[in-house]
Amino acid sequence: MKILVDTHTHTIASDHAYSTVLENAAAAARAGLEALAVTDHTPPLTDAPRMSHFRNLRVLDRVIDGVTILRGAELNICDARGGLGVADSDLSDMDLCIASIHTVVYGSPDPAENLRAYQGAMEDARVKIIGHPEDGRAPVDFFALARAARDAGVLIEVNNSSLRPISYRQNTRENMTALLRACEACGAHICLGTDAHFAPAVGRFDESLSLLEELHFPEELVANTSLEKFLDFIRRRS
């Protein structure tokens, strides 16, 4: 299986990342990607850029080094209702948004509360992807989450950064295994994102692909094996 769209990357606009858009695009070209999503963090995460960063993403060339650039943002799920803390007008030019629980902003030890938060976030049509839901610090019923994503037409992310040995997230491989089995069982689609915070990680899906191969996960449920397939999926929620 070949992944041709990296759906989750960060630039130096997020204070804890270390590469520019141009550096990430060059890395994407070297990796043979068709497209790269630029998805920096939004407030209220403290090291996120100001919202003017996202309003101005229209200045980015649509193609850099032969790679299509998708304008995006990683939103914070801010409360148990799934509030995202960002006005619609600030994201009007986005191609996609990821909604993620970051425990420094919100996260409950109660799986039912986290499920309600994810469901609330998925009610927002801007949200195309649920980011790194395998983090054990914010537990959730994976079968219920997979069914909710399927019904909403939202992608579940397989986050390569979470599966790397250096990850600070908890129980990620075990949890991602359970989540992938739930997605397969109910027919929920997934996408692979690197969550790259440094250009050499862009387009590197080794850990994610290894897990998918181990589980014999069906390729037809993977949305970003081509740019055309990915865009067709996310545009259904427009």
**C-alpha Rg value of the chain to the nearest Å:** 16
pTM value? Answer: 0.96
Q: What is the mean pLDDT of the chain?
A: 96
| Type of residue found at 183 | C
Residue 198, token pair as written in the block: 């440094």
pLDDT tens track for 130-172: 999 999 999 999 999 999 999 999 999 999 999 998 888 889 9
| Residue 238: pLDDT band with limits 50, 70, 90 | low
Q: Is the pLDDT at 46 greater than 80, yes or no?
A: yes
Q: DSSP labels for 180-226?
A: HHHHHHHT--EEEE--BSSGGGTT--HHHHHHHHHHT--GGGBTTSS
- Binned at pLDDT 50, 70 and 90, residue 93 comes out as confident
Terminal CA-CA length for the chain: 28
Residue 97 near residue 128, CB atoms below 8 Å: yes
| pLDDT interval class at 74 (50, 70, 90) | very high
pLDDT of residue 168: 87
Tens of pLDDT, residues 165-222: 888 888 999 999 999 999 999 999 999 999 999 999 999 999 999 999 999 999 999 9
Provide, rounded to the nearest whole percent, the portion of the chain with pLDDT above 70: 100
Confidence band of 237 (pLDDT split at 50, 70, 90): confident
Lowest-pLDDT range of 24-33, 64-73, 167-176: 167-176
90: confidence class by pLDDT, cuts 50, 70, 90: confident
